[in-house]
Each structure stands twice: as structure tokens, then as C-alpha cells.
Structure 1
Amino acid sequence: MKKQIISVLLLVLAATVVWAAGQGESAKPGASGSVVELRVQFPRDNEENQYRIQAELDKARRFEAEHPNIKIIPVHIEYDNTGEFFVRQAANQAPDVMMSVWATEAQLWVSKGWALPLDDYLASWEKMDWYNPASFDPFMVNGVRYGIPENNYVKHVIYNKDLFDQANQPYPKNDWTWNEFLEAARATTNKSAGVAGFAPMGRGGEGGWGFTDFIYQAGGEVVEIRDGKYYSVFDSPQAIAAAQFFKDLKWKHDVIPSQWANGWGDVFNVFGAGQAAMVFDADWGRAIPINSFGMDPDNIGVVIMPKGPGSQGRHAGVLGGTFMVINAASARSKAVQDAAFAWIDFERYDEAGLERIESEIADARSNGQYRAQFQYSPLLPEAQYIQRETAIMAANPDAAVIWGDDEFLELLPGTAHTEPAVAAQDLYGEYLANVVQLLLSDENADPERIMKEYNDRFQKEVLDPLNAAQ
């Protein structure tokens, strides 16, 4: 079905490719000093996105009033790296400015010449001083910044305080280790009551994504870059130790749910139902137990990831998110590129943003819910916008949740581990996902053999072709 859809899109857009190839710079509106048309990524046009689309249309009208020489052309598309976006990109029908490119895509975009370098714009941008410089790292290649962080996350642990209290288990502290994580998981597990100490994601790409946290905590890596080439390295002793620890959670210690093949949303359903004491979260997961299961936000604790074993062990959780990127393959003229950056800058961390937060809190209150997500902001804590945002949240405790104390918020950035620089989604969904399935489904599985097998396959099937194409 996916191939059929792509084929249809290719047929529909094929004529556009021919037209665009012959037009060059002259095809861009505004080349003669007239109105510049700017194609902007908007949410996909479906029923559940109508309120988001309307908000973006309202923003576009305000932008056009301030920039009468620029006309916004909405392009309703969600980013993916295999389907519709690639078809539109080939046909020169993709947006000039993408608002939500995955943090894992920097190498792909730069290697194809799609991402416009942004350093010249950022050098004179008055908001640049507000940002944590490290927040740009996932979309930086060879020291050049190609994206601006939109929504970031650093994974950490959330836990059910009631289940810890019932087990007389102290709450985790930010200096905890794998041994203390295991102790807490064993103490809070009560299989007769249907409670597991820890619920991992065990299905699909989410499972592979979650498994990398353990690899990083053990001091391992999954991909390294040496002399411009990519190498798969999750067959290291540290990565194998992570696989053994992960397997033992199921077969030796029996601290994960019997039904372990859970995706992202499933894990938070289990947590919300009081059937898991701990889960890894990034940002939005905790909204499910709070708003769908009625869990009291005060009953949810947060703590940084546990430290892995040995001298190379570390507190580590995946740093990811989405970035705003100017599409160099589409925005070819300087006028369109300037318009794209103006759109990125427009209402970015200003009064309108604070008003949106207040509106979201009001909407949550009217529905008897909370604005419950954890937002790992790319801005520095001392940025005025962050201070005002925090004040708004603190003034509405009945409908907004502030997560973590000062110690947690101070330590969390130091645990951030960027995702693989290349082919991360392939790695998660087609290789590490299989590792997770094998470790949790077979008591006799050999972690070392499995890790070496899938490490070699990923190198041969994915990274070697990428290296050869350079």
C-alpha cells in the first residue's frame, strides 16, 4: 500500500518536476521585487488537527500584516524520511521552511544539500543569547548549525510515589545507579497484584529507541564517526553489558510486565493504571496517566536516569526532538530564504507564545484536565521568557504542572545524549527492535551473540552503503 501511494504521488507530481527544472531562480515569486511566496509546513489536514491549523492560519495573517511583501502558502504535511516528504522534495513541492524535522535527520539533510546553513542568520539574531548553545548540537554538522531547536526532550524516569510508599521503598535520588534502580524495581514489583517495577517499551521502533538509553548508561555507543565514515559499535563490552542487564530485568529478576510488547502509549497506559512503578519518559507521556486515568500529578516523581556500572557508567538519556530547517532545495533565492527565517523568528518566544500557554491552561481547566507535559526548553533558565512561562505555570496549579526541583532541572542537561547522527530510525525500528524482542522473548537468548549479529547487519546493510556513497 505504501509503495502504491508513493507511486500515485510521483505520477501526480512528475509534471511539476519537469516544470521546476526549467524555471530555476526565475520561478521564485519575488525575484523581480514583487511579493514573495513562502511555502510553510502546516499540520496535516485532518479532523484532529483543525484547531492547530486554524492557529497557524491566524498566525499567518498576523505575519502577512507585518510583512506585506510575503505571502504564506500552507503545505499540509508531517515530516517523514521515506514517503510523502521525499516525493514532494523530488518534485520541488516541499515546504520552503520545515518546522518539525526530526533531530536524527541532520546528516541526511546536509548530505543531500537540503539544509541551509544558518550561522549567518544566527550571528545577528537578537534571540540567540537566550538559547542554550548545546541545544543546537543535534542539527550541527562539521561545526555548522543547520537547524533551530523547536521541541527538545531529554529522557528521564518518572515513578509512582504511591507504589513506592506501599513497598516502603525510598524514592530514587538523582545520584542513583543501576543497582539502586534494580533494587527499586524489585521492591515495587507485586505480580500477584499485577504490578511491575519497571515497564520498558518493547515493541517496534519505540523499543529500539528505549533500549539505547541502557547502552548509553553503560558507557556504550551505537554509531561512531571516524574519518568521515560511519561505524556500528553496539557490539562493545559496554553495549553487551546493557543487553544482559535488560534481559535480566525479565528473566532473572521478573520486574517487567508479563505483557511486555508495549509501544509508547501502551507504557503510559500501564503506568496510569497503577501497573508499573517506573517508566522512562521524554515529555508528553505523563499526560496520559494524568488526563486519561485521573492520576494525581503530585503522585508522580521525576528523577534523572540511573548511572550504569563501572568506570564508564554514566547518567544518560536520549536527547532528541524536532528542528526548524530552511529547505535549501526549495528556498533557492535569497528573498525566500530571508522570508523563511522571518517566519521562524515571528512570535518566537514572545507575548503570543505566553498567551498560547495561558490559553492551553484555560482549555485544560475547562476540560477538568492539566497542561501536564514536561517541556525541556532549548532556552537558558535565566532567559526572561522561561521565567515568565514558569510564573504562569506556578500561578495555575489546578491546571498546570511544573516538573522537577532545581536539582533535577540543573542535572538533566548533563545527562543528554544525542541520537545517532545517521540512520537512527532504521537502527531503532529494524535492528535494535529485533534485539529487544529476542532478549525479552527467549530466556536462553545470548546477548553477546545477538548484539554482534545485529551490529554487523546494521553495518553491512545500512552504514557500508552510506559510506560507499560518500
Structure 2
Amino acid sequence: MTTTHPRGRPARLLAATSAALLLLAACTGGSDDDGKDAAAGYDPAAAVELTWWTGQTSEAEQVAERLAAEYHAAHPNVTIKTSPGAPTTDDLLTKLSAGFAGGSYPDISYAYGNWAGDLGASGRTQDLTSYVADPAFAWTEMPAAARAVATADGKVIGIPALVDNLALIYNKKLFDAAGQPYPTDDWSWEDFRAAAKRLTDASTNTYGTAYSVSGGEDTTWHLWPLLWQHGGKILDGTTPAFNSEAGVKALETLRAMAVDDRSMYLDQTDQKYGPLFNSGHVAMMLSGPWSLLDIKDAKLDYGVAVLPGVDGDHQTVSGPDLWVLFDHDDANRAGASRAFIKWLTSAEVDAKWNLAVGNLPLRSVEQGTPEFAAYVREYPGGQKFFDNLANAKQARPTVPGYEVMSRNVGDAIAAVLQGAAAPKEALDEAARKSAGALED
């Protein structure tokens, strides 16, 4: 099984992460933001050693090591110490939080985008706002949702490391066997529900679709596109707003499939629905381009369509991850880390990084590269996911407390889909429990 993609195992919020957030909160404000540029006085010729926590394992870590060596060969004064940083990507927040408390943390680290608010509030990140505004950086070549996630409290704290989005992946063999037409980009959620019901076959343990009820971010972020399509929003400032009429309608759409139709496989772990799709026991999966790696290994005949929509609105959610750059009160380390990440995320080098390990390209201009053409050939549906970035019109909030709120919303969704709660009451309770964590 391919293990290069850190998002291929989408568990997000574990008990260890909750502990990490408490530690991170204790570190918040540990260094003053005096408005000074962390790289002011940077000497590009100075000898510098950078620590880079890549968040990668297996083949992708080897690619990162090769790229670090390539950069060092071109810039002999810059040595980059490369490591995954933690046993899994999910463990990085715990490691970073402990590092902040102990004064030992990297210059650059991979981070899930939904950590941005808490990391930004730590007082340890660089303010890159002016740096990325330089036309030479070509900041606007990166998707708007990714740029938004890299911004916390009005400051750019990192550079997108990975871009993605949710779309509808379907098993053509199961559709053909049921005599059903394939999904189209014009489907409504009513079309999706009807197809899921027709494709469910209890005699073969086959479900029309699936949903994670682990309660983590994989549970929560799948609800946001439906919320947005109904005209709702996640927050109003720092006040929960997901329990609006739009949120209730969104969750009711899912509840009807899970409880009334029983056409939705409920995954208690968020680790099972992907393999069940690949083995032919789930007909449609709402997932991202990371799933294409395992689907390729399974040799499945599949297709990709945009998410079903509401009144023609097919908004999706993007889960951009980041290279977060940290301040060590050393202008040369700050400047060198910026120069390295600018190089790594350039169109030329990104083709050697993201496209090489099966991810979407970071920059729009990469669509015309030979590497992107090779990616689309290797992963049918890759072009659809790339085009679907245009439907990622909103971003998850980058506010401190998002992780706590996500767990509360995830628990509410899980309870509703398992028939233990009604949408309105469950979302109201999640909003009540989240209010304190989101206060300024």
C-alpha cells in the first residue's frame, strides 16, 4: 500500500492532540510580536543550519532528503537537517507544542491547515505577509483557499505545502452492474441520495456511499461543503454559526442516507471506508486526490465528478497543508528558511515534489508542465481534482480553538448519523460546547 501521502490516512484529532493544544495554549504569547521582520538583516552568504520537519514517511521522505541535498549543493552555506519530525504527521502538533515549551523547535515544519490558528497564536511563527507580497513570489498562483488557510489573525504564517479538495469518486463496475448512469458534475444531493439507495445491496454488504463517524476532522470537514452550499457559514467572527438552518439542512441530508435509507457505511475509525471502496463494497466515496494512490494499487475502474450541489452550487472544501516557518530570533535562519521554501514551492521544484509523490501541483502554471501531464496519465481523475480547486471558494477558519470546535462538531455528526441525536439539537450542543474555546 502506498504510504507517501501524509493525508492518505485522514485521522486528525486524537487524544494526544488535545493535550498538545493545552500545551500550545500555555505557550501562546511566549514571544512578543514587536512588528519587526524576523529576517531583517539577513545575510544570504552566512553559514546557516536549518531544521526541516517534513511530516513525511517512506518514499516522500527520501524525495525530501534528495531535494534538501540539491538545495545545499546550490547553496553550500545552507545545511538542511531533514527528518519526518514525528512518527506520524498527526503527532507533529504534540512535538511542536513540547518544543515551544522547551525552546527547541524546527525552522520549518509541515502542519495540517486546521492547526494554523493555534500555531499562529503561539507567538513562534514568522510573519511572512510582506515576503509573499513580493511579485517574485507569485503568491496568487496558489489557490485562494490555500492562501487563506496560510493566514492566521491577518498574518501569513506559512506557505502551502499541499493543496487538495473533496470530490465524488465512483466505482464504474458497480454502476454498470446496477444499470445506473454514472454521476455527472450537475448532480444534486437528491441525485446522490437516490443513486446511493439503488446501489446498496445488503446481500453483498455493498453500500451506496460511506462516511466517517470517528468524530475527528475527517468527520467534520465533509459537512462544510453542504453547509456552504446551503448558504451557511462556520463562524460569525468567533461565534459558532454552523448550527443555523443551513447547517441543520446539511446534516439532515446525511442523516437521511445513514438512518432512513441505510445506504451509507458508517466508519467508526475513518480508516475503513477507503479500503471498502477499493474492494468494491462502497460505490461512491466523497474523498480527495490522495485516494487515487490506493485506488491505483487496487486497479479499480473509477471516475471522478465534482461534489453534488444545492441549486447548482457545487462548492467543495480544500484541506491545504502548510510549511510553517518559525522565528528563532536569528535573521539568517529566518531568511534562509524563507529562501528554501520559496525554492521548494516554485513551479519548477514543486513538480519534483508534489507531482512526484502523487499530489496536485501547488501552482496554476504547473498545469502546462510535462510532469502534470504524466501525473494525469498515472492518476485518471487528477485533472478533475485540479479543476475542482475552482470550487473551493471558502476556507476553514484559521482561529485558535478550531480543533476543539471540530471535535465537538464531529461528535455531533457522529451521533446524528448513528441515530442517537437530531441534527438541530446536536449542532446546538456542539456550538454551546465550542463557544468558550473560540473566545478571543
Flag the 1:50–1:171 CA change in 2: closer, same or farther, 3 A. closer
Between the aligned partners of 1:175 and 1:282, the Cα distance in structure 2 is: 19
Residue 448 of structure 1 corresponds to 424
Q: Which residue of 2 aligns with 1:326?
A: 325
Aligned pair 1:377/2:388, yes or no?
A: no
Q: Tell me which of 241, 248, 251 is aligned to 2:249.
A: 241
Task: Select the residue among 103, 108, 117 that pairs with 2:127.
Answer: 117
Corresponding position of 2:6 = none
- 1:317 is aligned to 316
Match of 1:181 in 2: 192
Q: What secondary structure is seen at the aligned counterpart in 2 of 1:196?
A: coil
Deviation at 1:157, TM superposition (A): 0.9
Which stretches of structure 1, 4 residues or longer, exceed 6 Å deviation after superposition? none
Alpha-carbon displacement from aligned partner over 1:388-421 (angstroms, at most 9, x marks no partner)? 2223336xx4xx1242567x75454224431232
2:381 alignment counterpart: 403
1:63 corresponds in structure 2 to 71
Q: Is the 8 A contact 1:101 1:325 kept in 2?
A: yes
1:339 paired residue number:
336
Whether contact under 8 Å (2:53, 2:83) holds in the other structure is yes
Q: Secondary structure of the equivalent of 1:73?
A: strand
**CA offsets 1:415-443 (integer angstroms, 9 cap, x no match):** 443123233332333x1222123213236
Contact preservation (8 Å) 2:258, 2:418 = no
TM-score of the aligned structures, taking structure 2 as reference length: 0.80
Mapped contact 1:223–1:421 kept (Cα < 8 A): no
**Once superposed, what is the RMSD of the aligned Cα atoms?**
3.3
Which runs of 5 or more structure 1 residues have no equivalent in the other structure?
Answer: 11-16, 18-29, 361-370
Structure 1 residues 272 and 57: CA distance shift in structure 2, 3 A: closer
* Inter-CA distance 59–233: structure 2 relative to 1 (3 Å threshold): same
1:72 matched to 2:74: no
1:422-433 alignment to 2 at 5 Å? 422=399, 423-429=401-407, 431-433=408-410
Report the Cα offset of residue 263 of structure 1: 3.2
Whole-Å Cα distance in 2 between the matches of residues 446 and 159 of structure 1? 29
The reply to whether residue 277 of structure 1 matches residue 283 of structure 2 is yes
How much has 1:454 moved relative to structure 2?
1.7
Give the equivalent residue in structure 1 for 2:3: none
SS of the counterpart of 2:267?
coil
**Deviations 1:351-397 (CA, angstroms, capped at 9, x unpaired):** 66545689x5xxxxxxxxxx7x5x343311xx156432223336xx4
- Report deviation, 1:105: 2.6
Instruction: Give 1:231's aligned residue.
Output: 239
| Equivalence for 2:310 | 308
What is the deviation of 1:58? 3.4
Equivalent of residue 215 in structure 1, options 227, 246, 249: 227
Q: Counterpart amino acid of 2:107?
A: D
Per the alignment, residue 391 of structure 1 pairs with 373
Alignment map for 1:1-400 (pairs within 5 Å): 35-43=47-55, 49=57, 51-74=59-82, 76-78=84-86, 80=91, 83-98=94-109, 100-124=110-134, 126-128=136-138, 131-132=141-142, 134=144, 135-141=146-152, 143-205=154-216, 206-225=218-237, 230-257=238-265, 260-291=266-297, 293-295=298-300, 299-308=301-310, 314-328=313-327, 330=328, 332-349=329-346, 354=351, 373=358, 375-380=359-364, 383-384=365-366, 386-393=368-375, 397=377, 400=378
State the AA in 1 paired with 2:418: S
Q: How far apart, CA to CA, are the structure 2 residues paired with 1:106 and 1:199?
A: 28
Question: What residue number does 1:437 align with?
Answer: 414
1:218–1:307 CA contact under 8 A, matched in 2: no
Aligned equivalents of 1:339, 1:356: Cα separation in 2: 20
- Gaps in structure 2 of 5+ consecutive residues: 1-13, 24-29, 31-41
Distance of 2:207 and 2:373 partners within structure 1: 37
User: CA offset at residue 85 of structure 1?
Assistant: 1.2
The alpha-carbon distance between structure 1 residues 323 and 347, as it changes in their structure 2 partners (threshold 3 A), is closer
- How many Å separate the matches in 2 of 1:51 and 1:411? 27
Which of 1 and 2 has greater Rg? 1
Does the CA-based 8 Å contact 1:153-1:283 persist in structure 2?
yes
Kept after mapping to 1: 8 A contact 2:168/2:286: yes
Identity within the alignment, %: 22
Q: What secondary structure, in the 3-state scheme, does the structure 2 residue paired with 1:252 have?
A: helix
The SS at the match of 1:264 is: coil
Amino acid across the alignment from 1:433: G
**Which moved further from structure 2: 152-161 or 205-214?**
205-214
Distance 1:438 1:203 in 2: 10
Q: For residue 377 of structure 1, what is the amino acid of its counterpart?
A: P
Matched-pair contact (CA < 8 Å) for 2:54–2:85: yes
Q: 1:127 to 1:243 in 2, by over 3 A?
A: same
Question: In the aligned structure 2, how far is the partner of 1:341 from the partner of 1:385?
Answer: 25
Secondary structure, in 3 states, of the residue corresponding to 1:317? coil
Q: Deviations over 1:225-283 (max 9, x none)?
A: 1xxxx1111221111112222211122222113xx234333111111111111111122
* AA at the equivalent of 1:57: E
- Which amino acid in the other structure matches residue 362 of structure 2? P
Match of 2:434 in 1: 458
2:394 maps to 1:417: yes
Letter in 2 for 1:294: K
> What is the TM-score with the length of structure 1 in the denominator?
0.75
1:140 maps to amino acid: T
